[in-house]
Each structure stands twice: as structure tokens, then as C-alpha cells.
Amino acid sequence: MGMKISLTVNGASVTKECEPQTLLVEFIRETLRLTGTHVGCDTAQCGACTVHVDGKAVKSCNMLATQAQGTKVTTIEGLAAADGTLHPMQAAFRSCHGLQCGFCTPGMVMSAVDLVQNHGCHSETQVREALEGNLCRCTGYHNIVAAVQQGAAAMKA
């Protein structure tokens, strides 16, 4: 039997029905059709599904949609300005070539924004440690770390 949940997603109020066992990542992708949030491992290991719930990074494959009742959720689609201007972290990932295949990128960007906004980590060591929960199979992380540092500087400006 479906349950009705209400939340704010990327600034818009949403009220939808979902099954009690529906994961937040499934709700975002399948119900709301916001496919920038990726499903990677389904075990909260890879970070591809990272979104912000009430301003904090959450692996959405590890949270039920019903647990998001009344919260504010931001996905990768909600970071850019309404006119399409990229968020400083998104722009930094682009300019620093912090992606290759792009599969992990939405989760990396969301984690990086959380890192800067809520933890103030900026050194290479801090960034590497903070992103341990986000796996990338392509880049070797060097450009990702550079992108996070550049994005952090731009977010401060």
C-alpha cells in the first residue's frame, strides 16, 4: 500500500505516493525523474547516489523515501542556478577535468559541496579523506581533489 510523502526537492514542493520500502534514490530517479542522482552499489559504498537532505550529504540508497518526509532535498540538478549557471563546484569539476566517464561525478560534487559548506576541509589530505566514501574508477582522484579545492575557493569568494 502506498504512502503519501511531502518534501521539497530542488526548491519545489512535492507530494507523491510511494511504497514504504522505496529508497530515496528510487523515489528521486523513478518517481521524480531526476536521473542525475546515480545508482551505483545499492549498499552505501560508492557515493554515486549522494544528495543533500536538509543541507547535509546523504547517500540516498541508504535512506527510505518516507524518511525524507518534510525535508528539503537537493539533487545535482538543483545546484545550478535557474538560468543554467553552474554552481562553483560544478564549474570547478569542469575546468579541472575532475571527471572522465561522469558516473561518480554527481555524487562527488554533492559530497564536495557538503564538505566545503559544513566541514571547511580544503587541504589535499582533508579532501582525500573526506571523499573516501565516494568511489571513482576512472580518474585516480588527482583532478577531483584539485576541483574540490578550486570549487572551495570559488564558494568562499
pLDDT tens-digit readout, 35-93:
999 998 878 889 999 999 999 999 999 999 999 999 999 999 999 999 999 999 999 99
pLDDT of residue 43: 83
Residues 95, 71 share a domain: no
Q: Which amino acid is at 116?
A: V
CATH code for the domain in which residue 115 is found: 1.10.150.120
Residue 14 in domain: yes
Sign of CA dihedral 62, 66, 72, 76: positive
| Separation of alpha carbons 60 and 43, rounded Å | 10
Q: Do 7 and 34 sit in the same domain of this protein?
A: yes
Range of the domain at 17: 3-78
Domain identity same for 99 and 139: yes
pLDDT of residue 72: 98
Cell numbers describing residue 136: 571513482
Which of 43, 58, 78 terminates a domain? The answer is 78
Q: What does the mean pLDDT of the chain come to?
A: 93
Same domain, 117 and 64: no
Q: What is the pLDDT of residue 64?
A: 97
What's the domain count of the chain? 2
CA distances from 3 to 73, 84, 85 (A): 18, 34, 36
Q: What is the pLDDT of residue 58?
A: 96
d(CA 54, CA 73): 6
**Confidence class of residue 114 from pLDDT cuts 50, 70 and 90?**
very high
**What is the SS3 assignment for the chain?**
CCEEEEEEECCEEEEEEECCCCEHHHHHHHHCCCCCCCCCCCCCCCCCCEEEECCEEEEHHHCEHHHHCCCEEECHHHCCCCCCCCCHHHHHHHHCCCCCCCCCHHHHHHHHHHHHHHHCCCCHHHHHHHCCCCCCCCCCCHHHHHHHHHHHHHHHC
Length of the chain: 157
Task: Tell me, yes or no, whether 7 and 74 share the same domain.
Answer: yes
| Cell output for 157 | 569568494
pTM of the prediction?
Answer: 0.92
Q: Which of 78, 96, 114 is the endpoint of a domain?
A: 78
User: 15 phi and psi, to 5 degrees?
Assistant: -130, 120
Residue 83 in any domain: the answer is no
